[in-house]
Structure 1
Amino acid sequence: MDLLRFVPMLPQPPEFDVVIRRASSILDTHKLILDDRNDIISTNKFKNCDEEPKSIHIVPNPLCPERAMVSVPLFPCHERQEGYFHTSSRLLFKEEGDGFSYVYLDMESDGTKSRVHIYMLQGGVWCVHASATTQLPCQPLKLNTLLADNKIYMEATLSEILVLDLIALSFSTFHLPQGLLIGDHGTMLSRADDDTGVYLIHLEEARLCIWLRTGDNWLLVDTICFHEMCAQLGMSDITNWLFINQVGGNAEFLFLQMGHCLVYVGIKCRKLCKVLTSKDQWWGRIHPCMMIWPPTFPALKNDPPSML
């Protein structure tokens, strides 16, 4: 199992050198990223590959050392009902005030229906929040699970998304835009900034479509043809072997694997640049961490202007 690797996107201002070195050192002893939400990364910490971890380590943001690492207990286990088998589990994060709460989702199925067990971390202990059953044999393998506005979005079928409302403890489903199917490494979800909707980013051949789901409707908000984008930017056409690796919040950017290249795509600014190249044809998951640059500072209250 390889160590995590922190890779800065170049060019970077020289002021970032110390920050980047610190971020790299934080991740040096951690392996196996479990999940991420924006700048939050959770890892297991091992001394060797055969060791079972005693806790899960939450790195709020490697670029912001003032936000200390948090340790949470191992995920809870429960006895499976007869005829049921485990299909998926996810650690999810929910913003609450200035901090975060942690939600653990465990799903099992008997082949015809699925049951979801929801745990929340309270006082350092995983507590049962609720369990719910849906009449769908869900096996979410291709689409990323997303938590937004107290709702969990996950794959139901190749053309449907299942929504679990954590407040009402009820399931609902909705279809993808007409004609779309969830594909291997070609479809991902992203939260909208205000948490009132979700984006669906879908890649088919060299065409990227960004859809926004608000209420009961889909709205196509943007499309990108990578053949045209490469030509406009004067880059060689590297659109063979396209895979979506990671999508940023509010569908602002994504990382694509293009053959042996890892490529950053700025969706709104129409920016395309190579991040890394490798002889391997699969990179594992990318976990973007961001900083505001240049920094902005709030105005001081009740402070008289200084005399120059």
Structure 2
Amino acid sequence: MDLPDELLHLRGRRGGEAAMAAVIGDDDLLREIPLRLGFPAFLVHAALVSKRWLRVAADTVFLRRFRDRHPPRILGFYVNHCSTLRTVFVSVSEARELRYAVNRAGFHHCNQSVRIADSRNGRLLLRSLPFGCGGYTMFSPLCPARGVLPIRLPPELLHIGRLSPLDYSSQCLYLLFRDNNDGIVLVSVRLSGRKLSARVYVGQSDAWGEAILAEGELPVPLKFVRSMMIVNDKLYIVLDNCYICGLDFVAPRLRLFVVKVPDKVGADFKLSHGDDSGLFLIHRDRFHLSVWNHQMDDNGEDRWELVDRFVVRAAQDRHERFRVCAVSEDGGFVFLCLWTSRTIISVDLRSRKETTYEIKVQGIYFTTIFPLMTIWPPTFPTLNDEDDHDE
């Protein structure tokens, strides 16, 4: 790794031992070493050197610097083929340091007859097949030694017996990860004309809190739920007819709020979020990708702003329409399916770099994609304050 100028100066003047002593005695210089490691997993290895290194690596200010310098990376993505009831993993990362992790990311350690319901921070929520009699489990493909953890639903929801990311019925059941912690959110939604009722459970895999019930009136009669997403403990329900229904399920007073998507946006869009930047909407506009940001103004009114729009070269060159299938959990990558060639394209929204994967999907409209990212933040060993010395 490249050393800071201060270390190079010390190494040349007094030798390697003097330089190392200077680093050990100066926290500012010491932080420059793990800052250059490149991958979150390496921070955990550095933290094992000593308790002092652990404090440096686990410091929140340092972690923000590290994430800014080394944004989360995509290891690969899972493809749910609805027509063939198959789930496959496609490797993306070419980094040698991540090769071992990528090799473990498939379904080699669990039952193959599963469908993915959600993916976040290196974990998968799985639904066993067939839908009518299967159960729900959680699996960490990067840590297969943890095994497959069964999830028990509240007894009052067992009769629904169905979990699907595309359920067009008037009542549906969704299982989602709660942002970047270990929590799970279970949502039961019922639509009846203009009335929407949501029953939300927050808990772990085997223990659920008390049900949170919220009801509200919609602007127009709606028929089905397209998808759901959780951002900062707010539940966003994407409905047909270009409406988004939201619920802050940790607020003291529950209130369902409804947001209409921009007039120029059709039904083919996905929601995403960035760090403290509100809600983002990504949709297809002919051969373009358009990115909108949603904020609330001082009067509590919805405000959409078009923040980016650019041509998807692969679609334009092939003269093919495409569908927006998925957005990575950090909002940095979007996955598209071309309608005619049935290929998958990933687009880095920061650099606009496109990568084409010649995997042939079956039934584009019913194909779902779940990116697998490097885990953030890393999990560090627990500091034992009773024996608080540096080594």
Whole-angstrom CA distance in 2 between matches of 1:145 and 1:51: 21
Whole-angstrom CA distance in 2 between matches of 1:27 and 1:241: 36
Query: Which of 306, 319, 335 is the matching residue for 1:220?
Result: 306
Whole-angstrom CA distance in 1 between matches of 2:178 and 2:362: 35
Confirm whether residue 26 of structure 1 aligns to residue 109 of structure 2. Answer: yes
Match for residue 40 of structure 1? 123
TM-score by length of 2: 0.62
Contact 1:101 1:120 in 2 (8 A): yes
Confirm whether residue 211 of structure 1 aligns to residue 292 of structure 2. Answer: yes
TM-score by length of 1: 0.76
Whole-angstrom CA distance in 2 between matches of 1:70 and 1:193: 30
- Root mean square deviation of aligned Cα: 3.4
Question: Is there any run of 5+ residues in structure 1 with no aligned partner, and where?
Answer: none
Query: Which of 202, 210, 224 is the matching residue for 2:283?
Result: 202
Contact 1:91 1:103 in 2 (8 A): yes
Contact 2:117 2:175 in 1 (8 A): yes
Q: CA deviation at 1:214?
A: 2.2
Match for residue 245 of structure 1? 325
Change in Cα spacing, 1:207 to 1:109, as seen in structure 2 (3 Å) is same
Q: Which amino acid aligns with 2:258?
A: T
**For 1:10-89, what aligned pairs fall within 5 Å after superposition?**
12-24=94-106, 25-26=108-109, 29-45=112-128, 49=130, 52-53=133-134, 55-60=135-140, 62-65=141-144, 69-74=148-153, 76-78=155-157, 86-89=170-173
Q: CA deviation at 1:205?
A: 1.6
Whole-angstrom CA distance in 2 between matches of 1:31 and 1:203: 30
Match for residue 90 of structure 2? 7
Q: CA deviation at 1:37?
A: 3.0
Whole-angstrom CA distance in 2 between matches of 1:22 and 1:135: 46
Match for residue 172 of structure 1? 257
The structure number with the bigger radius of gyration is 2
Change in Cα spacing, 1:75 to 1:42, as seen in structure 2 (3 Å) is farther
Q: CA deviation at 1:280?
A: 3.7
Query: Which of 349, 356, 373 is the matching residue for 1:274?
Result: 356
Q: Which amino acid aligns with 2:308?
A: D
Match for residue 79 of structure 2? none
**For 1:104-143, what aligned pairs fall within 5 Å after superposition?**
104-121=186-203, 124-136=206-218, 137-142=221-226
Q: Tell me the percent identity.
A: 24
Q: CA deviation at 1:279?
A: 7.0
Change in Cα spacing, 1:284 to 1:266, as seen in structure 2 (3 Å) is same
Whole-angstrom CA distance in 2 between matches of 1:120 and 1:138: 26
Whole-angstrom CA distance in 2 between matches of 1:221 and 1:66: 43
Higher helix share: 2
Q: Which amino acid aligns with 1:218?
A: W
Change in Cα spacing, 1:197 to 1:29, as seen in structure 2 (3 Å) is same
Q: CA deviation at 1:140?
A: 4.2
SS of the residue 2:102 aligns to: helix
Post-superposition Cα deviations, 1:227-258, rounded to whole Å, max 9, x if no partner, equal xx34xxxx981341301111113431111111
Higher strand share: 1
Question: Is there any run of 5+ residues in structure 2 with no aligned partner, and where?
Answer: 1-83, 161-168, 298-302, 382-387
Post-superposition Cα deviations, 1:98-127, rounded to whole Å, max 9, x if no partner, equal x32111111113323121111223582344
